């Protein structure tokens, strides 16, 4: 059984589990997300989609080119996610408002905040949305997963064809 499609499927699964965990803490735990939080959710969904596409191409067509395209896109998105998590922690969390920030504009542009507000609408400012899990800021958990996904994507893209 080829390992690359499994790795890509694992990347998709981990990304969707991250979104599921965020939704659980929001809807069950009452933690309201900020614009940077929901932008990271969107990035995780995009990583899942690109990883899943690469995985399916690997299974159905044994296409290493398709796998590498999916992994490359996932890697690029992971880097964007790391940037978003770092920005949230070091810049946005010091601000009392995320209104009209880059994250807010991206979410407004996609329309997902209106189309699917229970997942992609921001309900708190960045300062209000500060939360920890096991004493670690949420955005650092997100940063860690983005970094692991970037490493996994790099492994796929560096494999010989």
| pLDDT tens digit sequence for 83-129 | 999 999 998 887 766 667 899 899 999 999 999 999 999 888 777 77
Cβ atoms of 67 and 5 within 8 Å: the answer is yes
132-133 and 136-137: which strand pairing?
antiparallel
| pLDDT tens digit sequence for 21-76 | 999 999 999 899 999 999 999 999 999 999 999 998 877 665 688 899 999 999 99
CATH number for region 3-158: 1.20.1550.10
Distance CA 43, CA 84 (A): 9
DSSP 94: G
Of 158 and 18, the structure prediction assigns the larger pLDDT to: 18
| pLDDT tens digit sequence for 129-158 | 778 888 999 899 999 999 999 999 999 998
Give the residue carrying structure tokens 């690469």. 54
Distance CA 154, CA 61 (A): 21
Distance CA 13, CA 51 (A): 9
Q: Is-above-0.85 flag for pTM?
A: yes
Distance CA 156, CA 89 (A): 29
Of 160 and 85, the structure prediction assigns the larger pLDDT to: 85
- Indicate the burial class of 60 (C-beta count within 10 angstroms; 0-12, 13-18, 19 or more): exposed
């Amino acid at each position: 059984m080829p390992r690359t499609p499994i790795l890509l499927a694992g990347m998709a699964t981990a990304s969707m589990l991250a979104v599921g965990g965020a939704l659980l803490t929001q809807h069950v735990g009452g933690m309201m997300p900020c614009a940077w939080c929901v932008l990271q959710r969107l990035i995780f969904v995009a990583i899942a989609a690109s990883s899943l596409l690469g995985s399916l191409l690997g299974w159905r067509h044994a296409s290493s080119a398709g796998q590498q395209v999916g992994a490359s896109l996932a890697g690029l998105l992971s880097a964007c996610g790391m940037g978003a998590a770092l920005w949230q922690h070091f810049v946005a969390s010091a601000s009392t408002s995320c209104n009209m920030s880059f994250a807010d504009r991206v979410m407004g542009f996609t329309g997902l905040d209106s189309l699917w507000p229970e997942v992609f609408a921001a309900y708190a400012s960045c300062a209000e949305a500060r939360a920890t899990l096991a004493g670690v800021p949420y955005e650092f958990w997100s940063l860690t997963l983005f970094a692991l996904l970037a490493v996994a994507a790099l492994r796929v893209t560096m494999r010989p064809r």
